[in-house]
Amino acid sequence: MPSSHPQSVAVNAALEVIGDVEPRIATAIAAELTDQRASLKLIASENYASPAVLLAMGNWLSDKYAEGTVGHRFYAGCRNVDTVEGIAAEHARALFGAEHAYVQPHSGIDANLVAFWAVLAQRVEAPALTGVGVRHVDKLGDEDWQALRHELGNQRMLGMSLDAGGHLTHGARSNISGKLFDLYSYGTDPATGLIDYDALRRTAHEVEPLIILGGYSAYPRKVDFRVLREIADEVGATLMVDMAHFAGLVASGQFSGDFDPVRHAHIVTTTTHKSLRGPRGGMVLCDAELAPYVDRGCPMVLGGPMPHVMAAKAVALAEARRPEFRDYGARVLANAAAIAEGLSRRGATLVTGGTDNHLVLIDVGGYGLTGRQAEQALLDAGIVTNRNSIPSDPNGPWYTSGIRIGTPALTTRGLTTDDMDRIAELIHTVLDATEPGTADDGTRSPARYRLDPALAEKVATQAGELLAGYPLYPDVVLG
């Protein structure tokens, strides 16, 4: 008999309505819940949103166009969208202590593009760039843009290199950010794997960038944003921070003082999922001086806002303001430290030797494997991770030499530090038993591997037994 819990009733009713139109989609949605319940999810960028957040996305707000900002829409009938966006921004400002919040971006890259163009637009309108005779970027004509194109196209950005732990949107050549700016990169100390702030400062003084970009995708340590702001001020740069990965640690108060980017940066971007546990989307926080430029995100960069997702952001941000979210952030850090210690004790090589945030980066070269081989072998054993480059990676960005793991999702399920040690044992068991495979011509293959299926099945069973004690969405019973 189906559960009478409101969450079960809501989910089953939704699946029934969907199934009446396209049953294959309803089946796939149900199957995804089943798969996620059975997966030992260690992907650092994934989490589990609450049923309240998920349900906030499935409603009539999805039907509304709302280009513009609160009170200044290009479409009529946006009263309720204004309410939703206003509440989401209100929660964001209060949660992070920001002067301004823009909650419309559809993703992290959208948020970064809004920030990039806001900084560029501010620069165009600055008194130093009045040679074209136009001060307001929205009023620039074709000839004005032609005169400014060289200036805009050669603005310099200094961001963390991809192999040191930066993100594709921080200036990778394959991304629009690497084409929009004249890019320079900073990395880490080869001996420690830590950011070399002295080297970063020297590069900044040589380059004199418009933007210094902080934040990371695979750097397992805190970043001193106070120092980054000092460097930015010394060279007249705008300090931008992408905190998509660790926003939940900022929101929960675990990253404070020098490690709180909102306190030090001119402009901060983030996703709203990952460690923040919201819907897939983006957000920009900034100083009041940048707010008018950020609010031009639509139509400068974005298409129409998605009001239903902004509603879900508002719910997630409200959840993050509750006392229990502070405890969640502390447990994320404790679990990451525990799994790092467990791996190190078993002989695994960790980039920087450990972690003080939510993620751990394993150098699987010590097991004689590529990241691609390790990722697939772990997946065979029911452990979901992702391969990732390490500093000066000999295998490049596709096959890689690293495995990135993170604790936000499993912490949401309730797993503890003792459980992390058990997971470290399972990871080590699989990697230690995996052997590199060979290509058809007998040469070593960076993708193929050999793992005893019986061992993979045994580990998957143990992972399942561990997860059985921490049911996912326990109040949701399908059927």
* Token output for 25: 């989609």
Q: Which of 67, 189, 356, 432 is catalytic?
A: 67
Q: Evaluate the omega torsion of the peptide bond into residue 6 and state whether it is cis, within 30 degrees of 0.
A: no
CA atoms within 13 A on the CB side of 127: 0
Given 156, 280, 422, 448, the catalytic residue: 280
Q: Which of 184, 193, 141 is nearest to 164 (CA)?
A: 193
Q: Which of 69, 169, 271, 400 is catalytic?
A: 271
> Which of these is catalytic: 73, 221, 229, 274?
274
Quickly list DSSP for 279-308: -S-EEEEE-GGGHHHHTTHHHHT--S--HH
Backbone angles phi, psi at 445, to 5 degrees: -105, 135
Options 46, 125, 242, 375, the catalytic residue: 242
DSSP of 305-321: --HHHHHHHHHHHHHHT
Told to judge if 399 belongs to the known catalytic residues of this protein, a careful annotator would answer no
Q: Is residue 121 within a helix (H) or strand (E), and if so which, with residue range?
A: helix 108-124
| E runs forming strands in 147-201 | 156-160, 182-186
Whole-angstrom distance, CA of residue 162 vs CA of residue 171: 8
Active site residue 67: yes
**Closest listed residue to residue 102, CA positions, set 257, 275, 300:** 300
Say which of 37, 65, 258, 448 is annotated catalytic.
65
Helices (H) and strands (E) in the chain, counts: 20, 17
> How would you classify the pairing of strands 282-286 and 100-102?
antiparallel
Does the active-site annotation cover 271? yes
The answer to whether residues 409 and 46 touch, using CB atoms and an 8 Å cutoff, is yes
| Whole-number Cα distances in Å, 411 to 197, 331, 426 | 32, 7, 17
H or E, element range at 20: helix 6-21
DSSP letter assigned to residue 188: B
Nearest to 213 by CA among 181, 191, 189: 181
Residue 82 falls in the annotated catalytic set: no
Rg (CA), the chain: 23
Sign of CA dihedral 333, 424, 273, 356: positive
Q: Which two tokens stand for residue 352?
A: 């920087």
User: Does the annotation count 65 as an active-site position?
Assistant: yes
The yes-or-no answer on residue 186 being catalytic is no
Q: Which of the residues are catalytic?
A: 65, 67, 242, 271, 274, 280
